[in-house]
Amino acid sequence: MTRVSSDMNDDASTSTSRPDASGRDRALSAEIIARQALVLADERGLEKLTVRSLASELGIGTMTFYGYYRSKEEILDAMADQALGSLALPSSEPDESPRQAIENVATAFRELMIEHPSIAQILSSRVTDSPQARRGAMEVVIDRLIRSGIPGPLAVKSYGFLMVHALGFASYQTPRPWGRGETDGGTDESELRRQQWHFYASLPLPEFPRLVELRDELIELPGEEQFRFGVECLCRTVEDLVAAGLPDGRADQEAP
Amino acid sequence: MTRVSSDMNDDASTSTSRPDASGRDRALSAEIIARQALVLADERGLEKLTVRSLASELGIGTMTFYGYYRSKEEILDAMADQALGSLALPSSEPDESPRQAIENVATAFRELMIEHPSIAQILSSRVTDSPQARRGAMEVVIDRLIRSGIPGPLAVKSYGFLMVHALGFASYQTPRPWGRGETDGGTDESELRRQQWHFYASLPLPEFPRLVELRDELIELPGEEQFRFGVECLCRTVEDLVAAGLPDGRADQEAP
DNA sequence: GGACGCGGCCGTACGTTGTACGGTACATTC
DNA sequence: GAATGTACCGTACAACGTACGGCCGCGTCC
């Protein structure tokens, strides 16, 4: 059952259908393997992704993997590339404001991190030399920001801001149920919030007055509103700078 | 010894630990081991930190480690705790502005990530259940922000912003020389920048016009100025919200 | 046709990892 | 001295990444 009709270009997803016409056809492609690896890492956690388990899931021998990637490190790069390549920006409106462009990019980044929880770990644990699709995402995002009216240097800074914000946000908590404990049943969203609330409420008041006092806000730290707050900060600043006609976000003390 | 993070009053972790009123004295303490582990991870990289190498560095047998920590996971938490506990805020001025408070906190976070490059990886790769010193850092930072005039809910959001920004920033590149390649001698700052510049300059122009055009800005993405830009965004927004008298950063569409 | 070579596949094996198990050595208490 | 409890660690094992080399079906050349 290792043969899967060996026609990989059925949906025209990849342009590198066959590397060369030497010898036999390969049953798989590097991209299919990377995609499956990403699925496994997102479902079961990056630390459960081993070369053996991946090969087993693909129905191939363990060492066959090394015919497609030279090391496990290499496929981690490919996985990050795969995920970044699936960045889904909504189609561009003709007269998009800087705020709309920023919020669209931010939402796309956030959804990417939610859909692929493992890439935050991958990007954090690797040096990530020269990704391929990452350049494509950079180009598309920066172009989108510039077309909305943001000057180039400021658009680059905004891209960096959003990427760092989304990445840091995904890294900050990563509340995957498989991470700690085996109580899969009781790890829903509201129950986790309730536990956090009780934790903050039970802290010694003389030592942590602020944490106890602000427990209602603290449990919202990993929430959507916190993410939006960061995006709002960027939007306001960019709007100010664009209105002032400054080409970048250099921090000079302007007098209003 | 900055905090009470000793192992004696840890109630729920291990029930079999009686530190005194027992047989012999222990040669080490859990905190000393965590500190040494943090040094090793920062110097040689987190992936080179093994239980064996750590024990060898401490001059103890491998299994002796498990008399202080129940698993390697546990010491990763302790290392993050150790690093967070060493957060160094400058002493508070009596009438500190919100901007000054935010910039002080941001600088402390940034220096922490620079001094301990491994904690970004630790925080990203772990679920990090209930750190001890992290609560202390949260309390101190949020209190500092509130004392500068920022309302409590907004101070919490600002704390989250700064933590996420610093963490994401540290995760984004992590340009450690030991990460890739063995050319330790030629991996200084300016040389790396030059290589990046040439990379962007050599991209195919029709495919990546923005990246080629903005290559001078792009190589500054992991730089200090990009970090400051994010902080500036927060400062401006907080100043606006405080001036408007809003208790938090909820994104209502204000009419100027 | 036969021989050859080549490339995709993978079984086996090796070194390293985290850590369970049990033994040793010594201080304290009968 | 005997008993007990604790700190320490040598050995062992499963799981990991992956080097090595063999098998096998195909294209090519005689």
- Distance of alpha carbon B13 from alpha carbon B11, whole angstroms: 6
From the Cβ of B244, is strand D under 7 Å away? Answer: no
Same domain assignment for residues B204 and B143: no
The model's pTM: 0.87
Q: Domain residues for B127? A: 87-176+222-243
Work out the mean pLDDT of chain A and round it to a whole number.
83
CATH of the domain at A41: 1.10.10
Q: Which CATH number goes with the domain that contains A108? A: 1.10.357.10
| Residue A202 domain-assigned (yes or no) | yes
Using the Cα atoms of residue B188, residue A73, residue A135 and residue A246 in order, give the sign of their dihedral: negative
CB-closest option in A127, A143, A208 to B210: A143
Of the candidates A120, A225, A134, the residue with the CA atom closest to the CA atom of residue A167:
A120
Cβ–Cβ below 8 Å for B199 and A130: yes
> Are residue B36 and residue B107 in the same domain, yes or no?
no
- Arithmetic mean of pLDDT, A132-160: 94
Distance from residue A57's CA to nucleotide C5's C1', rounded to whole Å = 33
Q: Left, alpha or beta for B29 (phi > 0: left; psi -120 to 50: alpha)? A: beta
Question: Taking CA atoms, what residue in B is nearest to A166?
Answer: B168
Q: Determine the average pLDDT of the residues in B192-208.
A: 90
Instruction: Note whether A207 and A137 are same-domain residues.
Output: no
> How far is Cα A86 from Cα A101, in angstroms, rounded to an integer?
18
Structural domains in chain B (count): 3
Q: Do B120 and A124 lie within an 8 Å CB cutoff?
A: yes
Computed on alpha carbons and rounded to an integer, the radius of gyration of chain B in Å comes to 22
Residue A6 lies in a domain: no
Q: Is the residue at B67 inside a domain?
A: yes
How confident is the model over A170-228, as pLDDT tens digits?
Answer: 988 755 545 444 444 455 677 878 888 898 999 999 999 999 999 999 999 888 999 99
How far apart, in whole angstroms, are the C-alpha atoms of residue A149 and residue A93?
Answer: 13
Return the number of other C-beta atoms located less than 10 Å from residue B173's C-beta.
Answer: 15
Count of beta carbons in the 10 Å neighbourhood of residue B75: 25
Same domain, A167 and A206: no
Question: What is d(CA A109, CA A126) in angstroms, rounded to the nearest whole number?
Answer: 19
pLDDT digits (tens, 9 = 90+) for B74-93: 999 999 999 999 999 999 88
Which of B156, B165, B228 lies at the smallest CB-CB distance from A214? B156
Q: Look at residue A28 in the predicted model and tell me its pLDDT.
A: 86
- Rounded to the nearest angstrom, the gap between the alpha carbon of residue A42 and the centroid of all alpha carbons in its chain is 11
Q: Are residues A233 and A187 in the same domain?
A: no
- B122 and B44 in one domain? no
Q: Which nucleotides of C are covered by protein (CB under 7 A)?
A: 6-13, 16-22, 26-28
Say if B252 falls within a structural domain.
no
Residue B32 counted as domain residue: yes
User: Residue A82 falls within a domain, yes or no?
Assistant: no
User: Which two structure tokens, joined as six digits, stand for B183?
Assistant: 């050319």
- Cβ proximity of B192 and B211 under 8 Å: no
Residues contacting A28, CB < 8 A, separation 6+ = A8, A58, A60, A68
pLDDT at position B18, please?
A: 39
Whole-angstrom distance, CA of residue B247 vs CA of residue B152: 7
pLDDT in tens, B209-250: 999 999 999 999 888 999 999 999 999 999 999 999 876 655
Instruction: Name the maximum alpha-carbon separation found in chain B.
Output: 75
Q: Which whole-number Å values give the CA distances from A60 to A54, A64, A67, A153, A154, in the listed order?
A: 9, 6, 11, 48, 48
Please indicate, yes or no, whether residues A137 and A226 belong to a single structural domain of this protein.
Answer: yes
Count Cα atoms within 13 angstroms, Cβ side, for A52.
Answer: 2
A231 and A198 in one domain? no
> pLDDT tens across B134-150, in order?
889 999 999 999 999 99
- pLDDT value of residue B27: 81
* C-alpha distance from A214 to closest chain B C-alpha (Å): 7
Is residue A119 located within the same domain as residue A35?
A: no
